[in-house]
Amino acid sequence: MKRVAIIAGDGIGVDVTREAKKVLDLVVRARGLGIEQVDMDYGAERFLRDGVTLPPRELDAIRKDFDAVLLGALGHPRVPDMRHARDILFGLRFGLDLYINLRPVQCLDDRLVPLRDRTARDVDFVVFRENTEGLYADVGGIFKKGTPDEIAVNEDVNTRKGVERILRAAFEHARATGRKKVTMSDKANALRFAHDLWQRAFREVAADFPGILAQHLYSDALTMQMVKDPGQFEVIVTCNMFGDIVTDLGAMLQGGLGMAASGNIHPGRVSMFEPVHGSAPKYAGKDVANPLAAILTTGMMLGYLGFRAEESLIETAVREAVRRKKCTKDVGGNLGCRATAEFVCATLTPLLGGAAKSSAKRSKRR
Ligand SMILES: NC(=O)c1ccc[n+]([C@@H]2O[C@H](COP(=O)([O-])OP(=O)(O)OC[C@H]3O[C@@H](n4cnc5c(N)ncnc54)[C@H](O)[C@@H]3O)[C@@H](O)[C@H]2O)c1
Protein backbone atom coordinates (compact mmCIF):
# COMPACT_ATOMS: atom_id res chain seq x y z
CA MET A 1 0.00 0.00 0.00
CA LYS A 2 1.35 3.43 -0.98
CA ARG A 3 0.42 6.46 1.10
CA VAL A 4 -0.05 9.91 -0.40
CA ALA A 5 -0.42 13.12 1.63
CA ILE A 6 -2.50 15.80 -0.05
CA ILE A 7 -1.97 19.46 0.81
CA ALA A 8 -4.23 21.65 -1.31
CA GLY A 9 -2.79 24.88 0.11
CA ASP A 10 -4.15 28.27 -0.90
CA GLY A 11 -6.02 30.08 -3.65
CA ILE A 12 -6.36 28.13 -6.87
CA GLY A 13 -4.25 25.41 -5.24
CA VAL A 14 -7.49 24.38 -3.53
CA ASP A 15 -9.48 24.48 -6.79
CA VAL A 16 -7.05 22.49 -8.93
CA THR A 17 -6.17 19.96 -6.23
CA ARG A 18 -9.85 19.15 -5.72
CA GLU A 19 -10.10 18.33 -9.44
CA ALA A 20 -6.78 16.45 -9.55
CA LYS A 21 -8.03 14.32 -6.65
CA LYS A 22 -11.09 13.34 -8.69
CA VAL A 23 -8.79 12.07 -11.40
CA LEU A 24 -6.65 10.28 -8.83
CA ASP A 25 -9.72 8.70 -7.21
CA LEU A 26 -10.94 7.51 -10.59
CA VAL A 27 -7.60 5.93 -11.50
CA VAL A 28 -7.21 4.32 -8.08
CA ARG A 29 -10.73 2.82 -8.22
CA ALA A 30 -10.66 1.71 -11.84
CA ARG A 31 -7.27 0.02 -11.60
CA GLY A 32 -7.57 -1.15 -8.00
CA LEU A 33 -4.32 0.63 -7.08
CA GLY A 34 -3.13 0.28 -3.50
CA ILE A 35 -2.97 3.99 -2.74
CA GLU A 36 -4.24 5.54 0.46
CA GLN A 37 -4.84 9.31 0.39
CA VAL A 38 -4.58 11.46 3.50
CA ASP A 39 -5.75 15.09 3.30
CA MET A 40 -3.65 17.46 5.38
CA ASP A 41 -5.02 20.85 6.29
CA TYR A 42 -2.02 23.18 5.95
CA GLY A 43 -2.03 26.56 4.26
CA ALA A 44 -2.87 30.19 4.91
CA GLU A 45 -6.34 29.55 6.40
CA ARG A 46 -4.93 27.14 8.97
CA PHE A 47 -2.05 29.50 9.74
CA LEU A 48 -4.39 32.45 10.24
CA ARG A 49 -6.72 30.31 12.38
CA ASP A 50 -4.25 28.35 14.55
CA GLY A 51 -0.81 29.86 13.88
CA VAL A 52 0.28 26.46 12.53
CA THR A 53 2.43 26.14 9.38
CA LEU A 54 3.92 22.63 9.05
CA PRO A 55 4.65 21.16 12.48
CA PRO A 56 7.97 19.27 12.75
CA ARG A 57 6.11 16.13 13.89
CA GLU A 58 4.06 16.19 10.70
CA LEU A 59 7.18 16.56 8.59
CA ASP A 60 8.59 13.55 10.46
CA ALA A 61 5.39 11.58 9.83
CA ILE A 62 5.55 12.44 6.11
CA ARG A 63 9.18 11.35 6.01
CA LYS A 64 8.51 8.04 7.73
CA ASP A 65 4.99 6.98 6.79
CA PHE A 66 4.35 8.36 3.30
CA ASP A 67 5.52 7.70 -0.24
CA ALA A 68 4.49 10.99 -1.86
CA VAL A 69 2.96 14.40 -1.25
CA LEU A 70 0.60 16.12 -3.70
CA LEU A 71 0.68 19.88 -3.16
CA GLY A 72 -1.57 22.54 -4.72
CA ALA A 73 0.03 25.96 -4.27
CA LEU A 74 0.81 28.35 -1.43
CA GLY A 75 0.51 32.11 -1.14
CA HIS A 76 -2.24 34.30 0.31
CA PRO A 77 -2.64 38.09 0.40
CA ARG A 78 -3.47 37.92 4.11
CA VAL A 79 0.00 36.48 4.84
CA PRO A 80 2.14 39.04 3.02
CA ASP A 81 5.46 37.79 4.43
CA MET A 82 4.68 34.28 3.06
CA ARG A 83 5.77 32.75 6.36
CA HIS A 84 3.42 29.76 6.08
CA ALA A 85 4.38 29.16 2.44
CA ARG A 86 8.08 29.20 3.26
CA ASP A 87 7.61 26.81 6.17
CA ILE A 88 5.46 24.39 4.20
CA LEU A 89 7.02 24.49 0.73
CA PHE A 90 10.65 24.93 1.74
CA GLY A 91 10.01 22.77 4.82
CA LEU A 92 9.10 19.91 2.49
CA ARG A 93 11.74 20.60 -0.16
CA PHE A 94 14.60 21.10 2.29
CA GLY A 95 13.32 18.93 5.15
CA LEU A 96 12.85 15.90 2.90
CA ASP A 97 16.05 16.72 0.98
CA LEU A 98 14.17 16.77 -2.33
CA TYR A 99 17.19 17.79 -4.35
CA ILE A 100 15.71 17.29 -7.81
CA ASN A 101 13.07 19.67 -9.09
CA LEU A 102 12.05 17.86 -12.24
CA ARG A 103 10.08 20.05 -14.60
CA PRO A 104 9.04 18.60 -17.94
CA VAL A 105 8.63 21.24 -20.65
CA GLN A 106 6.44 19.38 -23.07
CA CYS A 107 3.84 20.98 -25.29
CA LEU A 108 0.81 18.77 -25.85
CA ASP A 109 -0.69 20.51 -28.87
CA ASP A 110 0.55 22.61 -31.80
CA ARG A 111 -2.10 25.18 -30.99
CA LEU A 112 -0.40 26.01 -27.68
CA VAL A 113 3.07 26.76 -29.08
CA PRO A 114 3.55 30.55 -28.92
CA LEU A 115 6.50 30.60 -31.36
CA ARG A 116 6.14 31.26 -35.05
CA ASP A 117 6.86 28.27 -37.33
CA ARG A 118 7.22 25.83 -34.44
CA THR A 119 5.11 22.81 -33.53
CA ALA A 120 4.57 20.90 -30.29
CA ARG A 121 7.32 18.50 -31.40
CA ASP A 122 9.82 21.35 -30.95
CA VAL A 123 8.94 21.72 -27.27
CA ASP A 124 9.86 18.51 -25.49
CA PHE A 125 12.62 18.63 -22.91
CA VAL A 126 13.04 18.33 -19.16
CA VAL A 127 14.65 20.72 -16.71
CA PHE A 128 16.54 19.44 -13.68
CA ARG A 129 16.60 22.32 -11.23
CA GLU A 130 18.76 22.00 -8.12
CA ASN A 131 16.26 22.29 -5.30
CA THR A 132 17.95 22.42 -1.91
CA GLU A 133 20.67 25.05 -2.01
CA GLY A 134 21.96 27.94 -4.16
CA LEU A 135 20.49 31.37 -3.54
CA TYR A 136 17.40 29.79 -1.95
CA ALA A 137 19.36 28.27 0.95
CA ASP A 138 18.16 31.13 3.17
CA VAL A 139 21.67 32.05 4.30
CA GLY A 140 22.28 35.75 4.75
CA GLY A 141 20.95 38.69 6.62
CA ILE A 142 20.25 42.36 6.75
CA PHE A 143 22.62 44.72 8.49
CA LYS A 144 21.43 48.15 9.67
CA LYS A 145 17.94 47.40 8.42
CA GLY A 146 15.79 50.38 7.60
CA THR A 147 18.68 52.84 7.71
CA PRO A 148 20.39 54.56 4.77
CA ASP A 149 23.44 52.34 5.46
CA GLU A 150 21.45 49.13 5.11
CA ILE A 151 23.21 46.07 3.67
CA ALA A 152 21.25 42.99 2.50
CA VAL A 153 23.05 39.74 1.70
CA ASN A 154 21.85 36.40 0.38
CA GLU A 155 24.61 33.82 0.10
CA ASP A 156 24.75 31.51 -2.92
CA VAL A 157 25.43 28.13 -1.31
CA ASN A 158 26.84 25.48 -3.64
CA THR A 159 28.18 22.27 -2.15
CA ARG A 160 30.21 19.71 -4.04
CA LYS A 161 27.72 17.02 -3.01
CA GLY A 162 24.67 19.09 -3.95
CA VAL A 163 25.99 20.10 -7.36
CA GLU A 164 27.26 16.65 -8.24
CA ARG A 165 24.06 14.82 -7.35
CA ILE A 166 21.79 17.05 -9.46
CA LEU A 167 24.18 16.78 -12.42
CA ARG A 168 24.30 13.01 -12.04
CA ALA A 169 20.49 12.82 -11.79
CA ALA A 170 20.19 14.72 -15.10
CA PHE A 171 22.59 12.38 -16.89
CA GLU A 172 20.95 9.29 -15.39
CA HIS A 173 17.56 10.54 -16.53
CA ALA A 174 18.93 11.12 -20.04
CA ARG A 175 20.33 7.60 -20.12
CA ALA A 176 17.13 6.03 -18.75
CA THR A 177 14.88 7.85 -21.23
CA GLY A 178 17.09 7.50 -24.32
CA ARG A 179 17.92 11.19 -24.51
CA LYS A 180 21.30 12.02 -26.01
CA LYS A 181 22.18 15.48 -24.73
CA VAL A 182 22.45 17.24 -21.37
CA THR A 183 22.81 21.03 -21.32
CA MET A 184 24.22 22.52 -18.12
CA SER A 185 23.50 26.20 -17.62
CA ASP A 186 25.26 28.51 -15.20
CA LYS A 187 26.81 31.97 -15.07
CA ALA A 188 30.42 30.95 -14.50
CA ASN A 189 31.67 34.00 -16.38
CA ALA A 190 30.27 36.26 -13.62
CA LEU A 191 29.93 33.96 -10.60
CA ARG A 192 33.57 32.93 -10.62
CA PHE A 193 33.56 30.73 -7.54
CA ALA A 194 30.15 29.12 -7.15
CA HIS A 195 29.72 28.31 -10.80
CA ASP A 196 33.32 27.31 -11.30
CA LEU A 197 32.35 24.40 -9.06
CA TRP A 198 29.43 23.63 -11.43
CA GLN A 199 31.80 23.68 -14.41
CA ARG A 200 34.30 21.30 -12.85
CA ALA A 201 31.67 18.93 -11.48
CA PHE A 202 29.89 18.92 -14.85
CA ARG A 203 33.04 17.86 -16.70
CA GLU A 204 33.68 15.09 -14.18
CA VAL A 205 30.14 13.71 -14.13
CA ALA A 206 29.81 13.93 -17.93
CA ALA A 207 32.88 11.70 -18.26
CA ASP A 208 30.88 8.88 -16.64
CA PHE A 209 28.26 9.10 -19.42
CA PRO A 210 30.24 8.77 -22.65
CA GLY A 211 27.18 8.21 -24.89
CA ILE A 212 25.59 11.52 -23.90
CA LEU A 213 26.63 14.87 -25.33
CA ALA A 214 27.48 17.37 -22.56
CA GLN A 215 26.76 20.94 -23.64
CA HIS A 216 27.24 24.15 -21.68
CA LEU A 217 25.33 27.43 -22.08
CA TYR A 218 25.41 30.52 -19.91
CA SER A 219 21.95 31.16 -18.49
CA ASP A 220 21.35 34.32 -20.52
CA ALA A 221 22.21 32.42 -23.71
CA LEU A 222 19.97 29.57 -22.56
CA THR A 223 16.88 31.78 -22.32
CA MET A 224 17.60 33.20 -25.75
CA GLN A 225 18.04 29.73 -27.26
CA MET A 226 14.88 28.39 -25.57
CA VAL A 227 12.89 30.93 -27.57
CA LYS A 228 14.97 30.77 -30.75
CA ASP A 229 15.14 26.99 -31.11
CA PRO A 230 13.62 24.98 -28.23
CA GLY A 231 13.87 21.77 -30.27
CA GLN A 232 17.63 21.63 -29.63
CA PHE A 233 17.13 20.77 -25.93
CA GLU A 234 16.67 17.36 -24.36
CA VAL A 235 17.73 17.69 -20.71
CA ILE A 236 18.68 20.99 -19.06
CA VAL A 237 20.32 21.04 -15.64
CA THR A 238 20.84 24.21 -13.65
CA CYS A 239 20.93 25.83 -10.23
CA ASN A 240 17.95 26.63 -8.02
CA MET A 241 17.26 30.22 -9.06
CA PHE A 242 17.97 29.89 -12.79
CA GLY A 243 15.85 26.72 -12.81
CA ASP A 244 12.99 28.62 -11.20
CA ILE A 245 13.19 31.31 -13.86
CA VAL A 246 13.76 29.24 -17.00
CA THR A 247 10.90 26.88 -16.15
CA ASP A 248 8.42 29.78 -16.16
CA LEU A 249 9.73 30.56 -19.64
CA GLY A 250 9.40 26.84 -20.38
CA ALA A 251 5.80 26.93 -19.11
CA MET A 252 4.98 29.62 -21.65
CA LEU A 253 6.39 27.41 -24.41
CA GLN A 254 4.00 24.63 -23.37
CA GLY A 255 0.86 26.78 -23.19
CA GLY A 256 1.20 28.69 -19.95
CA LEU A 257 1.48 28.02 -16.24
CA GLY A 258 -1.78 26.09 -16.30
CA MET A 259 -0.01 23.32 -18.23
CA ALA A 260 3.27 22.94 -16.32
CA ALA A 261 3.77 20.01 -13.92
CA SER A 262 6.65 19.31 -11.58
CA GLY A 263 8.11 16.85 -9.11
CA ASN A 264 10.37 17.53 -6.13
CA ILE A 265 12.24 14.28 -5.90
CA HIS A 266 14.76 12.39 -3.84
CA PRO A 267 15.01 9.06 -5.67
CA GLY A 268 13.87 6.18 -3.49
CA ARG A 269 12.37 8.44 -0.82
CA VAL A 270 9.10 10.23 -0.19
CA SER A 271 8.83 12.92 -2.88
CA MET A 272 6.53 15.88 -3.47
CA PHE A 273 4.59 16.78 -6.61
CA GLU A 274 3.08 20.20 -7.42
CA PRO A 275 2.05 22.22 -10.45
CA VAL A 276 4.59 24.92 -11.30
CA HIS A 277 2.03 27.70 -10.90
CA GLY A 278 1.27 29.58 -7.71
CA SER A 279 -1.98 30.30 -5.91
CA ALA A 280 -3.17 33.05 -8.36
CA PRO A 281 -5.38 34.63 -5.65
CA LYS A 282 -7.46 36.68 -8.07
CA TYR A 283 -8.83 33.46 -9.64
CA ALA A 284 -9.35 31.56 -6.39
CA GLY A 285 -12.74 29.89 -5.96
CA LYS A 286 -14.06 31.22 -9.28
CA ASP A 287 -13.94 27.93 -11.19
CA VAL A 288 -11.62 29.44 -13.80
CA ALA A 289 -8.20 27.98 -12.93
CA ASN A 290 -6.78 25.48 -15.35
CA PRO A 291 -6.58 22.12 -13.54
CA LEU A 292 -4.50 20.39 -16.25
CA ALA A 293 -1.10 21.18 -14.67
CA ALA A 294 -2.31 19.68 -11.39
CA ILE A 295 -3.74 16.66 -13.23
CA LEU A 296 -0.49 16.11 -15.15
CA THR A 297 1.34 16.49 -11.84
CA THR A 298 -0.85 13.75 -10.36
CA GLY A 299 0.18 11.60 -13.32
CA MET A 300 3.85 12.30 -12.59
CA MET A 301 3.29 11.27 -9.00
CA LEU A 302 1.67 8.01 -10.09
CA GLY A 303 4.62 7.38 -12.41
CA TYR A 304 7.01 7.95 -9.52
CA LEU A 305 5.03 5.49 -7.40
CA GLY A 306 5.49 2.86 -10.13
CA PHE A 307 2.20 3.29 -12.01
CA ARG A 308 3.69 4.33 -15.34
CA ALA A 309 0.82 3.05 -17.49
CA GLU A 310 -1.65 5.18 -15.54
CA GLU A 311 0.61 8.24 -15.88
CA SER A 312 0.61 7.78 -19.61
CA LEU A 313 -3.19 7.39 -19.77
CA ILE A 314 -3.66 10.62 -17.81
CA GLU A 315 -1.40 12.41 -20.27
CA THR A 316 -3.43 11.01 -23.17
CA ALA A 317 -6.67 12.29 -21.64
CA VAL A 318 -5.18 15.75 -20.98
CA ARG A 319 -3.85 15.90 -24.53
CA GLU A 320 -7.36 15.10 -25.77
CA ALA A 321 -8.88 17.85 -23.62
CA VAL A 322 -6.52 20.38 -25.18
CA ARG A 323 -6.93 19.02 -28.72
CA ARG A 324 -10.74 19.24 -28.50
CA LYS A 325 -10.64 22.58 -26.64
CA LYS A 326 -12.44 21.01 -23.70
CA CYS A 327 -10.40 23.16 -21.37
CA THR A 328 -10.19 26.52 -19.64
CA LYS A 329 -9.86 29.92 -21.29
CA ASP A 330 -6.10 30.29 -20.77
CA VAL A 331 -5.56 27.38 -23.19
CA GLY A 332 -8.27 28.31 -25.66
CA GLY A 333 -11.36 26.56 -24.31
CA ASN A 334 -14.46 27.89 -22.61
CA LEU A 335 -14.94 25.39 -19.77
CA GLY A 336 -14.48 25.98 -16.08
CA CYS A 337 -12.03 24.21 -13.80
CA ARG A 338 -14.57 21.54 -12.78
CA ALA A 339 -15.91 20.86 -16.27
CA THR A 340 -12.37 20.50 -17.64
CA ALA A 341 -11.58 17.85 -15.05
CA GLU A 342 -14.92 16.16 -15.76
CA PHE A 343 -13.96 15.92 -19.42
CA VAL A 344 -10.59 14.42 -18.47
CA CYS A 345 -12.33 11.86 -16.24
CA ALA A 346 -14.85 10.98 -18.94
CA THR A 347 -12.04 10.52 -21.49
CA LEU A 348 -9.97 8.54 -19.04
CA THR A 349 -12.68 6.12 -17.92
CA PRO A 350 -12.75 3.94 -21.07
CA LEU A 351 -8.95 4.14 -21.34
CA LEU A 352 -8.60 2.72 -17.85
CA GLY A 353 -10.59 -0.30 -19.01
CA GLY A 354 -13.74 -1.60 -17.45
CA ALA A 355 -15.92 -0.52 -14.59
CA ALA A 356 -14.47 1.08 -11.50
CA LYS A 357 -13.64 -1.38 -8.74
CA SER A 358 -14.78 -0.54 -5.25
CA SER A 359 -11.86 -2.07 -3.39
CA ALA A 360 -9.81 1.11 -3.07
CA LYS A 361 -9.53 2.81 0.30
CA ARG A 362 -11.50 5.97 0.81
CA SER A 363 -9.81 9.26 1.65
CA LYS A 364 -9.14 9.94 5.30
CA ARG A 365 -8.98 13.41 6.76
CA ARG A 366 -6.59 14.46 9.46
N1 LIG B 1 4.91 26.63 -5.56
C2 LIG B 1 4.08 27.54 -5.11
O3 LIG B 1 3.26 27.28 -4.25
C4 LIG B 1 4.12 28.92 -5.72
C5 LIG B 1 4.74 29.15 -6.95
C6 LIG B 1 4.68 30.45 -7.49
C7 LIG B 1 4.04 31.47 -6.80
N8 LIG B 1 3.48 31.20 -5.60
C9 LIG B 1 2.71 32.22 -4.85
O10 LIG B 1 1.44 32.36 -5.49
C11 LIG B 1 0.97 33.69 -5.32
C12 LIG B 1 0.65 34.31 -6.66
O13 LIG B 1 1.87 34.42 -7.40
P14 LIG B 1 1.98 34.86 -8.92
O15 LIG B 1 0.77 35.66 -9.28
O16 LIG B 1 3.31 35.46 -9.11
O17 LIG B 1 2.03 33.47 -9.74
P18 LIG B 1 0.83 32.50 -10.13
O19 LIG B 1 1.45 31.30 -10.78
O20 LIG B 1 -0.04 32.22 -8.97
O21 LIG B 1 -0.03 33.27 -11.21
C22 LIG B 1 0.51 34.06 -12.25
C23 LIG B 1 -0.52 34.16 -13.37
O24 LIG B 1 -0.46 32.97 -14.15
C25 LIG B 1 -1.74 32.57 -14.54
N26 LIG B 1 -2.01 31.23 -13.97
C27 LIG B 1 -1.25 30.56 -13.06
N28 LIG B 1 -1.78 29.37 -12.82
C29 LIG B 1 -2.89 29.26 -13.58
C30 LIG B 1 -3.88 28.25 -13.76
N31 LIG B 1 -3.80 27.07 -13.14
N32 LIG B 1 -4.89 28.50 -14.61
C33 LIG B 1 -4.97 29.65 -15.27
N34 LIG B 1 -4.07 30.65 -15.15
C35 LIG B 1 -3.04 30.45 -14.31
C36 LIG B 1 -2.70 33.64 -14.07
O37 LIG B 1 -2.85 34.58 -15.08
C38 LIG B 1 -1.96 34.23 -12.90
O39 LIG B 1 -2.37 35.55 -12.65
C40 LIG B 1 2.07 34.45 -4.56
O41 LIG B 1 1.76 34.43 -3.21
C42 LIG B 1 3.31 33.60 -4.85
O43 LIG B 1 4.30 33.75 -3.88
C44 LIG B 1 3.48 29.96 -5.05
DSSP string of 55-123, one letter each residue:
-HHHHHHHHHH-SEEEEEE---TT-TT-HHHIIIIIHHHHHTT--EEEEEEE---GGG--STT--GGG-
φ, ψ for residue 69, nearest 5 deg: -125, 135
Rg (CA), the chain: 20
DSSP structural state of residue 345: H
Flag whether pLDDT at 366 surpasses 50: no
SS3 label, residue 40:
coil
Q: Are 30 and 357 in contact (CB under 8 A)?
A: yes
Q: What is the pLDDT of residue 353?
A: 87
Among 54, 87, 277, residue to substitute to test ligand 1 (most atoms within 8 Å of Cβ) = 277
What is the SS3 assignment for 252?
helix
Position 360 confidence tier, pLDDT thresholds 50, 70, 90 = very low
**CATH (domain of 182):** 3.40.718.10
Residue to mutate (ligand 1; options 81, 279, 335; most atoms within 8 A of CB): 279
pLDDT at 75: 96
Task: Say if residue 240 is in the same domain as residue 143.
Answer: yes
Asked if residue 150 has pLDDT above 90, the reply is: yes
Q: How many domains does the chain have?
A: 2
Catalytic member of 65, 110, 138, 220: 220
- State how far the Cα of 162 lies from the Cα of 349, in Å rounded to an integer: 42
- pLDDT at position 257 is 97
185-236 pLDDT, tens digit each: 999 999 999 999 999 999 999 999 999 999 999 999 999 999 999 999 999 9
Q: Does residue 209 sit in the same domain as residue 291?
A: no
108 alpha carbon – ligand 1 mean position (Å):
21
Residue 116 sits in the same domain as residue 68: no
Please check whether residues 287 and 360 belong to one and the same domain: yes
Angle 42-46-49 from CA coordinates, rounded to 5°: 165
**Confidence at residue 212, expressed as pLDDT on a 0 to 100 scale:** 98
Task: Tell whether 176 and 251 lie within a shared domain.
Answer: yes
- The answer to whether residue 131 scores a pLDDT higher than 90 is yes
Q: How confident is the model at residue 365 (pLDDT cuts 50, 70, 90)?
A: very low
Q: Which residues fall within 8 angstroms of residue 110, CB to CB, at 6 or more apart?
A: 119, 120
Whether residues 212 and 349 share a domain: the answer is no
Element (H, E) at 125: strand 124-130
The pLDDT value given to residue 354: 52
**pLDDT of 29 strictly over 80:** yes
Residue that is last in its domain, among 249, 264, 279: 264
Same domain (yes/no): 114, 252: yes
Instruction: Write out the residue range of the structural domain in which residue 272 sits.
Output: 1-98+266-366
Question: Does the structure show a pLDDT above 60 at 175?
Answer: yes
Strand partners, 100: 130, 265
Evaluate if residue 359 carries a pLDDT over 90.
no
Please tell me which residue in 2, 21, 22, 187 is annotated as part of the active site.
Answer: 187
Query: What number is the average pLDDT over the span 146-155?
Result: 98
Over the stretch 116-127, which tens digit does the pLDDT of each residue have?
Answer: 999 999 999 999
Indicate the residue among 264, 289, 314 that finishes a domain.
264
Looking at the structure, do residues 155 and 242 belong to the same domain, yes or no? Answer: yes
Residue 32 has pLDDT above 80, yes or no: yes
Question: What confidence score (pLDDT) does residue 357 get?
Answer: 46
**Which domain-ending residue is among 225, 249, 264?**
264
Return the ∠ at Cα 297 (arms to 306 and 24), rounded to 5°.
70
Task: Look at residue 67 and tell me whether its pLDDT is greater than 80.
Answer: yes
